[in-house]
Structure 1
Amino acid sequence: MSLKRVYTVTGLVIAVIVLSIVVFTSWYTVDESDQAVIMTFGKANETITEPGLHFKLPWPIQNVKKLARETLKLDFGFKDSNGKSSETKMITGDENIVLADLVVQWKITDPKKYLFNSEKPQEILYDATSASLRSIIGSSKIDDALTSGKAEIEAEVRDLLTTLLDKYDIGISILAVNLKDVELPNQEVRSAFTAVTDARETMNTKINEAKKYENKRMNEAEGEKAAIMNNAEGEKAARIELARGDVAIFNKLYEQYKSNPEITRERLTLETLEQVLPGAEIYIMNDEGNTLKYFPIRPLEKEQAKASDEEGGKKE
């Protein structure tokens, strides 16, 4: 074989290899759940988020690194496939030991920073999560960590973790923090704490029942008070009207008295006697100091009426 033929075959082989590299490395695809970073001689230039087929300069001029665009999850404190769990023992602010499990939902929001600002960004995220959770648990009371304070602890852990990741600037954003389980390290302690919690719940129940009874009695008392006030207002109005009527009667009597004082005085005297002595017979006499002259008209009237009744009975 001649040297020229060897060069020709070698050139053809090299051309085929180069052409294959150009053909197979000049295009790439991006899935809906991915995002791609275009690298030109090792430098990040462009981030592609549109799914589908895309073209670029062939390797080694340009290269593509794909990263997840969907929400990712970090489990802190959960058992792995071998049944082992990471060290999640923590000391609360009132010096009690608890075990905590946490789920962090995060997302790559800046692929360039995620690739080049740190060598192992997920390890940094894990360490920052551990530091944030231990810091917040360390400043919380055990009652809050085990019962009603979980939501507040979650919010504080998220804020602290977000602050740390902003300082590290590794292109990761925190979407949510869920505190799954917080428990005591052994059964004996858990039983004792459960007993304390049950007693506290019983106390709160009794307090709520007492407040409910207090509110009921207060409402009843307010109702009775309102009824008494209404009755008093009604009695007040009635007495005022009665007094106005008495005043009107007195004014009319006074006008009559001014025109006929003697007659009015006698009439008032007779009305008063009738009220004081309703069964008495009243005789009006003009006493001039002489011998009293009395004609018993009423007894005679009674005897006459009795005789009439007897006569009528005989006729029947």
Structure 2
Amino acid sequence: MTLRQIYTWIAISIGIVVLAIVGTTSWYTVDESEQAVILTFGEAEESITNPGLHFKMPWPIQEKQKLSKETFSLNFGYNQGQEDKGKANQVQMITGDENIVLADLVVQWKITEPAQYLYQSAQPELVLNNATSASLRQIIGTSKIDDALTSGKAEIENEVRELLVSLVEDYNIGISVIDVKLQEVDLPNSEVRTAFTKVTDARETMNTKINEAKKYKNEKYEEALGEKDAIISRAEGAKVARIEEAKGDVAQFDALYTEYENSPTVTENRLVIETLEDVLPQANVYIMNDESNTVKYLPIGNSQVQSMPQQQTQKQEQEGGSNNE
């Protein structure tokens, strides 16, 4: 074989290798759960998120990097090496009122900027873990232990989510935080948990007694309001009755005064007689009249009112007969 033939075979071999490289590196496929980054001479240019068949310049001009589009979970506070033992390496942190608690947090995240994820940080997941730790410790450090262990968990979870999203956006590591779940917040050991349980029970008992006292207070207050309204109603009724009675007395006085102007003597005598009847209801009162020979006295009283007209009539008849004679 001549030297020329050797060169020819070498050229043919190189051509075949080049064609093979071009043929195998000029196209690629992206699945539904994947996304790709195209690198031109090592520089990230564009991200491919549409699934299907795609073409590019052959290697080494362009190359691809595939990443998953699925949602990942970061279990903060768990030691993955102890999963077989069923134990969690919970993270200890100090609350705002200087108590130690243990906390477990799950962060759901996904890659939204593949180029940043690949080249902005050497370990983006470690950056996310550190940002999660900083966010959780900061929020727990400003919260009270009662809130962290009881009704304040939802608020702490929301605040951690907001702070973590802000930190991840500032770091530009191509990750988006989807959700944050505060799994568990607990006390460090059984003795502390027992003591805290007793404190919690005492606080609940105190709140129960306070609520019972408030209920009793409200009942008595409502009763007092009802009694007050009843007294006011009776007073208003008495007021109206007194006013009407006074109006009646005024009308009666006006009527008497009118009669007094017409007949002063008769009205005066009548008032005297009525007053004597009211003052001396059981006495027999006699009114003497010296101006007439017909009637010498007029008895006033229940026992003699019916007999006086008959006596007066008999006396008048006797006097009339003697005059006729």
* Superposed pair shares fold, TM > 0.5: yes
Query: 1:241–1:91: structure 2 CA closer, same or farther, 3 Å change rule?
Result: same
**Which residue of the partner structure matches residue 310 of structure 1?**
none
Matched, 1:176 2:150: no
Query: 1:157–1:237: structure 2 CA closer, same or farther, 3 Å change rule?
Result: same
Q: CA deviation at 1:118?
A: 0.7
Q: CA deviation at 1:82?
A: 3.2
- Stretch moving more, 96-105 or 16-25: 16-25
User: d(CA) in 1 for partners of 2:50 and 2:181?
Assistant: 31
Supply the AA of the counterpart residue of 1:72: F
Q: CA deviation at 1:238?
A: 2.8
| Contact 2:90 2:103 survives alignment (8 Å) | no
Aligned residues: 303
**Which residue of the partner structure matches residue 63 of structure 1?**
63
**Which residue of the partner structure matches residue 270 of structure 1?**
273
CA deviations on 1:78-112 (whole Å, 9 max, x unpaired) are 24333364461223344433221111223333333
**Which residue of the partner structure matches residue 255 of structure 1?**
258
Counterpart secondary structure, 1:106: strand
Q: CA deviation at 1:256?
A: 2.7
Query: 1:238–1:153: structure 2 CA closer, same or farther, 3 Å change rule?
Result: same
User: d(CA) in 2 for partners of 1:50 and 1:141?
Assistant: 48
| Contact 2:75 2:105 survives alignment (8 Å) | yes
Root-mean-square deviation (CA, aligned residues, Å) is 3.5
CA deviations on 1:126-156 (whole Å, 9 max, x unpaired) are 0121222233333444333323332333334
| Contact 1:76 1:86 survives alignment (8 Å) | no
**Which residue of the partner structure matches residue 36 of structure 1?**
36
5+ residue gaps, structure 1: 304-316
CA deviations on 1:136-187 (whole Å, 9 max, x unpaired) are 3334443333233323333343343334333322233333332221222222
Counterpart secondary structure, 1:214: helix
| Contact 2:21 2:58 survives alignment (8 Å) | yes
Query: 1:252–1:293: structure 2 CA closer, same or farther, 3 Å change rule?
Result: closer
2:102 pairs with one of 99, 102, 107: 99
Counterpart secondary structure, 2:233: helix
Query: 1:113–1:298: structure 2 CA closer, same or farther, 3 Å change rule?
Result: same
5+ residue gaps, structure 2: 299-303, 312-325
Q: CA deviation at 1:15?
A: 4.8
CA deviations on 1:22-50 (whole Å, 9 max, x unpaired) are 44444444444443333222222223333
Aligned-residue sequence identity (percent) comes to 62
**Which residue of the partner structure matches residue 213 of structure 1?**
216
**Which residue of the partner structure matches residue 233 of structure 1?**
236
